[in-house]
Amino acid sequence: MELSQRVRIPVHTDQVWQALNDPAVLQQCLPGCQLFQSTGNNEFEVAVQAKVGPVKATFKGEVALSDVQAPTSCKISGSGKGGVAGFAKGGADVFLEATEDGAGTLMSYKVSASVGGKLAQVGSRLVTGAARKMADDFFSNFVRQLSGDENMQVEIETLEA
Partner 1 sequence: MVEQSIGKSVLRKEDMRFITGKGQYTDDINLRGQTYGYFVRSPYAHADIGDIDVSAAAGMPGVIAVLTGKQVAEDEIGGLPCGWMIHSKDGSEMKQPHHPVMAGSKVNYVGEPVALVIADSFVEAKNAAEMVDVDYMERDAVVYAETAQSAPIIHEGISANTCYEWELGEKDATEAALASAAHVTNYEFTNNRLIPNAMEPRAAIADFNTATEDLTLYTTSQNPHLVRLIMTAFIQLAPEHKLRVIAPDVGGGFGSKIFVYSEETALAWASMKLGIPIKWTAERSESFLADAHGRDHVTTAHLAMDEEGHFLGLKVKTTANMGAYLSTFASSVPTYLYGTLLAGQYKTPNIYVEVDAVFTNTAPVDAYRGAGRPEATFLLERIVELAARETGRDPVELRRINMIQPSEFPYQTPVALEYDTGDYEASLNRALKMADYDTFGERKAASEAKGKLRGIGFSCYIEACGLAPSQVAGQLGAGVGLWESGEVRVNPTGSVTVLTGTHSHGQGHETTFAQLVASRFGISVDDVEVVHGDTGKLDFGLGTYGSRSLAVGGSALSKAADKVVEKGRLIAAHLLDTDADKIDFDDGEYRVRDSNQAKTFQEIAFAAYVPHDYPLEELEPGLAEKAFYDPGNFTYPAGTHICEVEIDPETGVVEIDRFIAVDDFGTVINPMIVEGQVHGGIAQGIGQALLEGCVYDETGQLQTGSYMDYCMPRADDLPSFAVGLTSTPCTHNPVGAKGCGEAGAIGSPPAVINAITDAIGVRDIPMPATPEKIWRAIASTTRSAA
Q: Which stretch binds partner 1 (CB under 8 A): 27-35, 36-44, 105-113, 119-127?
A: 119-127
Min dist. Cβ of residue 86 to partner 1 (A) = 4
Rg of the chain, C-alpha, whole Å: 15
Nearer residue to partner 1 within complex by CB, 65 or 122: 122
> What are 114's strand-pairing partners?
89
* Of 54, 53, 60, the residue nearest 82 (C-alpha): 60
CB neighbour list of residue 149: distance below 8 Å, 6 or more residues apart: none
Nearer residue to partner 1 within complex by CB, 24 or 84: 84
115 touches partner 1 (CB under 8 A)? yes
Q: What is the DSSP string of 34-88?
A: EEEEEEETTEEEEEEEEEETTEEEEEEEEEEEEEEETTTEEEEEEEEE-GGG-EE
124 touches partner 1 (CB under 8 A)? yes
118 touches partner 1 (CB under 8 A)? yes
* Mask for 72-91, x = binds partner 1 (CB under 8 A): -----------xx-xx----
Min dist. Cβ of residue 81 to partner 1 (A) = 8
> What are 49's strand-pairing partners?
58
Sites of contact with partner 1 (CB under 8 A): 83-84, 86-87, 114-118, 120-122, 124-125
